[in-house]
Amino acid sequence: MATTPPPAAPQPTAPPTGLGIEIPEDLGHILLTIRTLESGGRYDTPPNKGRASGAYQFITSTWNNHRGYPHAYLAPREVQDERALADVRSILWTWKGDVSMVPVIWYYPKAAKDPALMDQVPLPQFGNRLTVREYQRRWLEVLAFITGDPFGFSLAIAPPGLQYLSGIPPEVERSVEELDQVAFPVLGSAVVAPPQTCEHDACEPGSSAIVYGQKLQPVLAATDGVVTAVEHDDPISGAVTLTLTDVAGRTFHYAGFNDDNPGTVDGDADTSLRFTALGEVGATVRAGQILGYMGDTDPMPSDENRGAPTSAVWPHIRLTIRDHTGLRLDTDSLVVAAQRSQACHVGLGPWSVPADERPDDAERDDIEVDAILNGGWTLRSDGTVTAFGRSALILAPEGCEWAPNDAFGPGASGNRPPEGWDDDFSVPMEFLVAGMLTADAVAPVGLIRSG
């Protein structure tokens, strides 16, 4: 995804190319959105199975030997930007300025003339996983995130008839059968990026979920379970990670927690700015509780299996769910469904996280984190978290008619959890041991892998 950090204020300026290509701010935002979703901003991305390459993923026939370069990825950055800018201007002129048509044309142009194709997955043999309509919605959400305008481009995504709940934790069934539901893993305004297309002939099934947000944004448990692994600095990727294991032996592997002190990229944050008190091996966790804080320690999605990460990373959490055999599940679809079902719900209360009594290197004061779009979070010195405004909600689209003005969380407003919510539950020992032995959560050790 993109190599430029996300906006730090509601009205950021478009990042300049620095290569002599003058791009108006509004069109620069569109180009950044395309690069983010198509390649992660990597201009040298080689051709994939569909023969698409470069930052904007031009297929060979569309690129058409532009300026004498046979493939887009062989052209300099300014040539790729120039060509993409011309195409975006052409799309906007053709569709009378309708920005929502840009992702349609970029993803599958035939759908622009045949509405029936909007709800089909185009060319799945090339790794596409989303319908055209799903891609369009995700694309517009990323554009809204980049511009700092939560409503300017977004389609209506809030389901009708929502009940605006006040601090009631999500109820996720502890099923040993098929996983049908999870809780959304981020509190406040966040964007779930489209899943990356598969670039290889032999591709792993399932998907991971990439959720973009901002530094120190609270990260939530997607299920009830026990923490079976915590890594403060992955020796290969550098990511700060946590693995949660549920009653069926499924592992919920989170990568991308914070490691920086506020306002820095020092990589020297103390434990309390990486994880909450629940971020310890052996901790019993409930769906919706706060595990820790988002950072930029996970490589950009486009950098997977490509060696060193890019120089800049958008803050995000990568969640990967695997069953007890190590088979990756369709995490992306589960996370998107959770975001829709919990839209406009207040996502924290007195149950959110216990006070942190772990010894640390240094005591700290309360930390106020202003949200990019609205509201904010207070990371209190005792390890608890409160939030206000739209930052207290799981998702706050235009359809949300209410958001709390007062803080919600431990010691503040919020309802009590439902009766029996804190009843004991157990995870079979074989799954606990397997999770603890698996640092990277790829395949639980000691269990038989499918296939």
Condensed to tens digits (0 to 9), the pLDDT of residues 411-431 reads 888 777 777 777 888 888 888
Does residue 3 form part of some domain? no
Q: Are residues 135 and 174 in the same domain?
A: no
For position 156, what pLDDT does the model report? 43
CATH code of the domain containing 32? 1.10.530.10
Residue ranges in the chain whose pLDDT is less than 50: 1-20, 152-157, 305-311, 439-451
Q: Are residues 32 and 61 in the same domain?
A: yes
pTM listed for this prediction: 0.80
Does residue 136 form part of some domain? yes
Q: Quick check: 279 and 230 in contact, CB under 8 A?
A: yes
Q: In 3-state terms, what secondary structure has residue 431?
A: helix
Q: Are residues 192 and 324 in the same domain?
A: yes
Does residue 152 form part of some domain? no
Task: Specify the long-range contacts of residues 154-157, CB closer than 8 Å, at least 24 apart.
Answer: 154/397, 154/398, 155/100, 156/397, 156/398, 156/399, 157/340, 157/343, 157/395, 157/397, 157/399
Q: Are residues 112 and 178 in the same domain?
A: no
Tally of domains in the chain: 2
Backbone angles phi, psi at 81, to 5 degrees: -60, -45
Does residue 84 form part of some domain? yes
Q: Are residues 112 and 199 in the same domain?
A: no
Among 93, 112, 147, give the residue marking a domain's end: 147
Distance between CA atoms of residues 231 and 223, nearest Å:
20
Q: Are residues 237 and 383 in the same domain?
A: yes
Range of the domain at 278: 159-451
Q: Are residues 176 and 62 in the same domain?
A: no
Among 147, 169, 186, give the residue marking a domain's end: 147
Q: Quick check: 450 and 443 in contact, CB under 8 A?
A: no
C-alpha dist (Å) from residue 80 to 4, 29, 62, 87, 143: 17, 16, 12, 11, 20
Does residue 125 form part of some domain? yes
Indicate the DSSP class of residue 185.
S
Q: Are residues 116 and 201 in the same domain?
A: no
Q: Are residues 164 and 69 in the same domain?
A: no
CATH code of the domain containing 285? 2.70.70.10
Condensed to tens digits (0 to 9), the pLDDT of residues 44-72 reads 888 877 788 999 999 999 999 999 999 99
For position 3, what pLDDT does the model report? 36
Among 147, 171, 205, give the residue marking a domain's end: 147
For position 147, what pLDDT does the model report? 81
Does residue 243 form part of some domain? yes
> Half-sphere exposure (CA, 13 Å, Cβ side) for 231?
24
Q: Are residues 387 and 323 in the same domain?
A: yes
